[in-house]
Amino acid sequence: MSPHREEVVAEIATLEALYELGQASRLGRHAWSEASDWAMLPLDRRELLDTIDRVVERIAARTEWGRDVVLWRLGCQARQTHERERLPIEQLKRCHEFIAMLETTLLVPLTHRDDARRVLFEVRDLYRAAGFEIERMRDALAVRAEPSDFSALDFVEFGELSAAFATYRQALRPDPVGAPRFGSPLPRPCAPHIGRARIHAAYDFPELLGAEIAERILSHLTACGRCAEAARRIRADDRAQDIDRQIDLMRDGRVDPAELMRRAERLSRVAERLAEAGRSAGLYSAAS
């Protein structure tokens, strides 16, 4: 092999090694020059960039969005690898703190892709509302105006994201006259802590909520007397309205009577579960 050819082979081997280093960093490098830049970075900066990237990957998997979309939704203006490498170290630390807080507080309790996406639609505005102060954002998520009220994070546990975001914003704008009194931001009718739609879904269509959230809701309805009683009334009222509607459809020939009976039996079993939840919570009124 000629000396010139040997030099070319050695150069290619070096570039390939640098490229593999860039791939190992998991930052999606597509040019050997970027891999070379990566190799020159201080170790602490490489570790921080790698940690950030792993969080972004987990968020991307949870939302089923690409990395660029996730970074855009997070408000990151340095979506290219080489741009992130040049950010000041303090900015990278704040970035990591922000997305780590987002993952552990708002995303971990959610099991549905669409819920995770909804969080990413809102997160930039939530951050802005806290004046881009991560600690203030964390505090507002955890505030309960009264012991019986829910914090924003409590609502997230049940997937009640609209109520969670409303509670969070209320926590950032307390009443200047006195202590804030939030109450429940859920649309009526509702139980104090669970919305009407999720009460029905937890009993009838838990797969729409995700098994973990549905189980949390049912456990809460067993433990919280006020919610158990409210859920019983909501289920009873909606059941009566639904049966009346189905009877009208049956009379019009649009619903099979046998199907109506199956629905009635299923609703009766749900009513029994609600009554048992009420008794467990100390309520001794049977569901009607």
Residue pLDDT, tens place only, 31-55: 333 444 666 777 888 888 889 889 9
The pLDDT of residue 9 is above 60: no
Residue 274: how many other CB atoms lie within 10 Å: 25
pLDDT of residue 76: 78
pLDDT of residue 152: 95
Tokens coding 123: 């997160």
Q: What is the pTM of this model?
A: 0.68
Instruction: Using a pLDDT cut of 70, give the percent of the chain over it.
Output: 62
pLDDT of residue 30: 38
142 in Cβ contact with 182 (< 8 Å): no
195: β partners: 190
Lowest mean pLDDT among 132-141, 165-174, 215-224: 165-174
Average pLDDT over residues 17-42: 47
Highest mean pLDDT range out of 9-18, 66-75, 254-263?
Answer: 66-75
The pLDDT of residue 223 is above 80: yes
Q: What is the CA radius of gyration of the chain?
A: 27
Amino acid at 2: S
11 in Cβ contact with 19 (< 8 Å): no
76: β partners: none
The pLDDT of residue 27 is above 50: no
pLDDT of residue 260: 57
The pLDDT of residue 122 is above 70: yes
pLDDT-based confidence at residue 135 (cuts at 50, 70, 90): very high
pLDDT-based confidence at residue 24 (cuts at 50, 70, 90): very low
pLDDT-based confidence at residue 72 (cuts at 50, 70, 90): confident
pLDDT of residue 107: 95
Q: Got the DSSP string for 102-151?
A: IIIIIITT---HHHHHHHHHHHHHHHHHTTT-HHHHHHHHH--SSTTSPP
Euclidean distance between CA atoms 80 and 71, whole angstroms? 10
pLDDT in tens, 237-252: 877 666 555 555 555 5
The H-or-E segment that residue 17 falls in is helix 3-24
Lowest mean pLDDT among 165-169, 220-224, 257-261: 257-261
* 288/165: higher pLDDT: 165
pLDDT of residue 263: 63
Amino acid at 213: I
Using left for φ > 0, alpha for ψ between -120 and 50, and beta otherwise, residue 228 falls in alpha
Highest mean pLDDT range out of 31-45, 151-165, 264-278?
Answer: 151-165
User: Which of 208, 213, 206 is CA-nearest to residue 273?
Assistant: 206
